[in-house]
């Protein structure tokens, strides 16, 4: 069974063993004739995807106790993956969500790293830079570009640290590996969303025979 998480930038497709990251055009071309269950936050693609008859949108089946109406379906699936934890999805946006005993307790959203860096460049060309991957958070930097990296990463880390004491911290998303490197005992797992989707499918299949 193929599962897909259609994000703001890429199709993420899970074949039961590994995850493939494709552009929209690549995914549609490669899998348009294969049975696939998907969730999507990219509403602009809805009409094109709905024409693919062997694909099924299961977004409406993905819920967790305590979620809210406008919560992204990818975040719902992520939170379904484990009964307890703090879940960080570092992609186009950086979302942080907290689950306790299978109940969603709330969360918060940062712009993604690319969006943050772009905002600095809009202020002044002199502030155009890339993240310094080996930035130290134990001492204040002394150059403008290092200070931008420090400001971005340290502020995110501080808020996550505040809400993750005593909880397992899970990371996923394109920048998940980089961001997780600033946290001790962080769990990096790109299958979290798909684990949540599998749980949602199992629950729905109890009511609707075989869903996918």
- As beta bridge partners, residue 182 has none
String of DSSP letters for 139-179? S---SHHHHHHHHHHHHHHHHHHHHHTTS-EEEESTTHHHH
Residues 39/57, Cβ–Cβ less than 8 Å: yes
74 in active site: yes
Active-site annotation holder among 74, 89, 97, 175: 74
Residues 6 or more apart whose CB falls under 8 angstroms from that of 160 comprise 86, 88, 96, 169, 183
Q: Please report, in angstroms and rounded to a whole number, the separation of the first and last CA atoms in the chain.
A: 7
Q: Which residues are catalytic?
A: 74
């Amino acid at each position: 069974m193929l599962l897909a998480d259609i994000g703001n930038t890429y199709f993420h497709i899970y074949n039961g063993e590994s995850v493939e990251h494709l552009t929209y055009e690549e995914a549609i071309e490669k899998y348009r004739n294969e049975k696939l269950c998907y969730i999507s936050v990219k509403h602009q693609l809805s009409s094109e995807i709905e024409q693919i008859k062997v694909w099924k949108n299961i977004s409406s089946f993905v819920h967790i106790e305590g979620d809210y109406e406008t919560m992204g379906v990818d975040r719902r699936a992520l939170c379904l993956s484990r009964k307890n934890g703090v879940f960080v999805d570092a992609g186009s946006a950086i979302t942080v969500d907290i689950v306790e005993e299978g109940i969603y307790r709330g969360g918060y959203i940062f712009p993604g790293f690319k969006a943050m860096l772009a905002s600095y460049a809009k202020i002044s060309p002199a502030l155009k830079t890339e993240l310094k991957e080996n930035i130290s958070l134990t001492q204040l930097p002394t150059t403008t570009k290092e200070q931008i990296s420090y400001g971005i990463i340290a502020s995110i880390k501080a808020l996550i640290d505040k809400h993750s004491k005593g909880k397992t911290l899970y990371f996923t998303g394109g920048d998940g590996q980089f961001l997780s490197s600033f946290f001790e005992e962080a769990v990096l797992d790109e299958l979290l969303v798909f684990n949540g989707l599998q749980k949602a499918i199992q629950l729905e299949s109890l009511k609707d025979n075989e869903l996918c």
